[in-house]
Amino acid sequence: MPLPSDRRTRGQPPEFDQEFRRTLDDLLRWRRDVRHFQATPVDDALIDRCLDSFALAPSVGLSQPWRIMRVDSPAARAEVLDNFQTANAEALAGYSGERARTYAGLKLSGMREAPVQLAIFCDEATRQGRGLGAKSMPEMRRYSVVAAITQFWLVSRAEGLGVGWVSILDPDRLCRDLSVPEGWVLVGYLCVGWPQAQTVTPELETVGWQTRQLSHQILRR
């Protein structure tokens, strides 16, 4: 349920009841890495609304180091796709036997179909935040971008959209091909669109690549 605007402006915290918590658990379970997209366009206003979630994300020193580039032109998309295909071939060469055959059959990118594609960078040279929290751990800026991407992912899923994070890329080449400013580092390349199918089971688990662990261990000192 949306928080009334007067409570938002007064800073009064909402009450997250049990129904909301169950819905949040559903959202976490149904957030999947999507690679199979419909060709149906996505309204720009919807994408902008999802991207607004970046402004609410936590960031080290309030540096907000994320930089978002929407990759729309056929030429730019062709460069990124070729980047993926080259990196994917190199990755395949690292496997052998049955594992190589399984890898070769995986669909690891939705670049050909996804109507919206976003390159998300970290501005390593940003002066915003004045370096607070990043002098001893400069990688915190990139972690901040990851946190922002996660929020975008969940908000997009709540709108019915699917998001696929493509990591089989040469990040330096992508930065050159997209002519990004010096100091920007690629964190994520996202394919966004309406998913062809809905499932709570990760695709890699479905094809037998890896079984997801449903429990975790906590070390104590």
Which amino acid is it at 140?
Answer: M
pLDDT for 1: 41
Residue 201 placed within a domain: no
Report pTM.
Answer: 0.90
Residue 19 placed within a domain: no
Residue 217 placed within a domain: no
Residue 218 placed within a domain: no
CB atoms within 10 A of CB 143: 17
Residue 12 placed within a domain: no
Domain span at 150: 33-196
pLDDT for 117: 98
pLDDT (tens digit, 9 = 90+) per residue, 58-113?
999 999 999 999 999 999 999 999 999 999 999 999 999 999 999 999 999 999 99
> How many Å separate Cα 173 from the centre of its chain?
19
**What's the CATH code of the domain at 105?**
3.40.109.10
CB atoms within 10 A of CB 157: 20
Tokens 């959209």 correspond to what residue? 161
In the sheet where 184-193 sits, what is the strand order? 66-70, 116-123, 184-193, 162-166
pLDDT for 130: 93
pLDDT (tens digit, 9 = 90+) per residue, 10-26?
678 888 999 999 999 99
Number of structural domains (the chain) is: 1
pLDDT tier at 200 (50, 70, 90 boundaries)? Answer: confident
Residue 10 placed within a domain: no
pLDDT for 5: 52
pLDDT tier at 8 (50, 70, 90 boundaries)? Answer: low
DSSP state of 123: E
Q: Under a CB-based contact definition with an 8 Å cutoff, are residues 164 and 191 in contact?
A: yes
Bigger pLDDT: 150 vs 199? 150
Q: Under a CB-based contact definition with an 8 Å cutoff, are residues 220 and 214 in contact?
A: no
* Average pLDDT value over all residues in the chain: 93
Bigger pLDDT: 182 vs 8? 182
pLDDT tier at 6 (50, 70, 90 boundaries)? Answer: low
Please say whether the dihedral angle defined by the alpha carbons of residues 113, 45, 80 and 59, taken in this order, is positive or negative.
negative
> Treating both helix axes as pointing N-terminal to C-terminal, what angle do 140-158 and 44-51 enclose, rounded to 10 degrees?
140
Residue 154 placed within a domain: yes
- Taking the C-alpha atoms of residue 106 and residue 196, their distance in angstroms, rounded to an integer, is 16
Residue 213 placed within a domain: no
